[in-house]
Amino acid sequence: MDITPERSKQVAFSNPYYANSALVIAKKDTYKTFTDLKGKRIGMENGTTHQKYLQDKHPEVKTVAYDSYQNAIIDLKNGRIDGVFGDTAVVNEWLKTNPQLGSGNRESDRSAILRYRTWHRGAPGQ
């Protein structure tokens, strides 16, 4: 769970125990940099920090909210959206089972590393 000011009002977060990044996947070889996504339709799960991040930091990207990442992947495969923005750990699993999908070149293009964040364990309430 990502820490946000809103979530901190309802959850008592512990010390960080897992760090992760997020990235966009698309059909193979369709983009190399985050700049290439200008005007593209990028899916993500509704209400996530991914959605807020793209809306706040990259308004040039058209965000498409989904009730699940699985539905976003289906639309990506069928050409209804141009990419899906998700946690790197999860996205890497999708890439293993969907050889037609790929991601930008994260090693040579720092702009494709969209954002790092820290995950925490929290307890409701406090």
Q: Is 72 inside a domain boundary?
A: yes
Between CA 53 and CA 96 the distance in angstroms is 26
CA angle 110, 55, 45 (to 5 degrees): 90
What does the pLDDT look like over 93-113, one tens digit per residue? Answer: 888 998 889 886 444 344 433
Q: Is 51 inside a domain boundary?
A: yes
Q: What is the DSSP letter of 68?
A: -
Full 3-state SS string of 92-121: HHHHHHCCCEEECCCCCCHHHCCEEEEEEE
Q: Is 79 inside a domain boundary?
A: yes
Q: How many CA atoms lie within 13 A of 66 on its CB side?
A: 21
By the 8 A CB rule, do 95 and 106 touch?
Answer: no
pLDDT above 90 coverage of the chain, percent:
32
pTM score, two decimals?
0.74
Task: Specify the CATH number for the domain of residue 69.
Answer: 3.40.190.10
Between CA 115 and CA 106 the distance in angstroms is 12
What does the pLDDT look like over 26-82, one tens digit per residue? Answer: 998 888 877 889 999 999 999 888 888 889 888 999 999 999 999 999 999 999 999
How many distinct structural domains can be found in the chain? 1
Q: Is 41 inside a domain boundary?
A: yes
Domain of 51?
Answer: 5-9+18-121
Q: Is 105 inside a domain boundary?
A: yes
Q: Is 126 inside a domain boundary?
A: no
